[in-house]
């Protein structure tokens, strides 16, 4: 769970940095160059590892939720008042929201690249993610959905980052407090970073 999660967290950084190139103000040249790298054999290998990481993380998440739910057959009558962070309480729920987003996201972009989904008429070719993104993001509903999902991704990551260290036993009196702060900053960076892209294309961009 933690190892797959850490790989996914690294992936999110690379994905976000690539996406932010769309805002570079060069009509997407830098972004397109980055997208071309996706065809590189080394990237292909990492892509397979990425799929494995997603699969392991999702399946383990569902399995854990089932086992944990079954570990308490009779629930408490009085709602628990044990203080735990809201983010940690709803990891499975935020995970499901992210999964729904992931499926829609794959259909919109990745499947087009593979040719599994039809090429939208506004896209020049199957790797023209920028055109696809620009059109999708100019739809307020899509942008709104995207931003909300990124918010939940942030909630998920807020707990996930420090939790991964704890699960792997990487805990230290000196460094753990720093890890918690870095985790919060990381969650904000990823969440806000992804969310500003649709906001930009919706409100500040005219082609």
Which residues lie near another protein (CB under 8 A)?
A: 64, 67-68, 70-85, 88-89, 91, 159, 162-163, 165-171, 173, 176
User: Residue 207 is inside which H or E element, if any?
Assistant: none
Q: Which is nearer to another protein, 77 or 125 (CB)?
A: 77
Q: Which is nearer to another protein, 33 or 171 (CB)?
A: 171
Q: How many CB atoms lie within 10 A of CB 117?
A: 15
**At closest approach, how far in Å is the CB of 35 from another protein?**
36
**At closest approach, how far in Å is the CB of 178 from another protein?**
15
Whether the CB-CB separation of 165 and 177 falls below 8 Å is answered with no
Q: Which is nearer to another protein, 129 or 161 (CB)?
A: 161
**At closest approach, how far in Å is the CB of 25 from another protein?**
41
Whether the CB-CB separation of 162 and 183 falls below 8 Å is answered with yes
Give the Cα separation of 184 and 3 in Å (integer). 19
Q: Which is nearer to another protein, 48 or 76 (CB)?
A: 76
Closest CA to 133 of 187, 189, 196: 196
**At closest approach, how far in Å is the CB of 74 from another protein?**
5
Give the Cα separation of 99 and 105 in Å (integer). 9
């Amino acid at each position: 769970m933690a190892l797959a999660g850490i790989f996914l967290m690294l992936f999110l950084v690379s994905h976000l940095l690539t996406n932010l190139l769309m805002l570079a103000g060069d009509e997407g040249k830098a972004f397109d160059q980055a997208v071309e790298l996706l065809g590189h054999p080394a990237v292909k290998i990492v892509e397979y590892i990425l799929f494995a990481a997603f699969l392991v993380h999702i399946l383990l998440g569902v399995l854990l939720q089932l086992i944990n739910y079954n570990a308490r057959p009779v629930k408490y009558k009085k709602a628990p008042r044990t203080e735990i962070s809201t983010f940690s309480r709803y990891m499975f729920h935020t995970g499901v929201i992210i999964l729904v987003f992931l499926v829609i996201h794959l259909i919109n972009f990745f499947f087009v690249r593979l040719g599994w989904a039809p090429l939208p008429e506004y896209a020049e070719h199957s790797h023209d993610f920028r055109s696809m993104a620009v059109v999708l993001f100019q739809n307020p509903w899509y942008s709104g959905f995207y931003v909300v999902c990124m918010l939940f991704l942030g909630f998920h990551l807020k707990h996930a980052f420090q939790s991964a260290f704890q699960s792997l036993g990487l805990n230290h009196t000196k460094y753990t407090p720093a890890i918690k702060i870095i985790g919060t900053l990381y969650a904000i960076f990823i969440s806000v970073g992804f969310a500003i892209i649709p906001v930009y294309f919706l409100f500040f961009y005219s082609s």
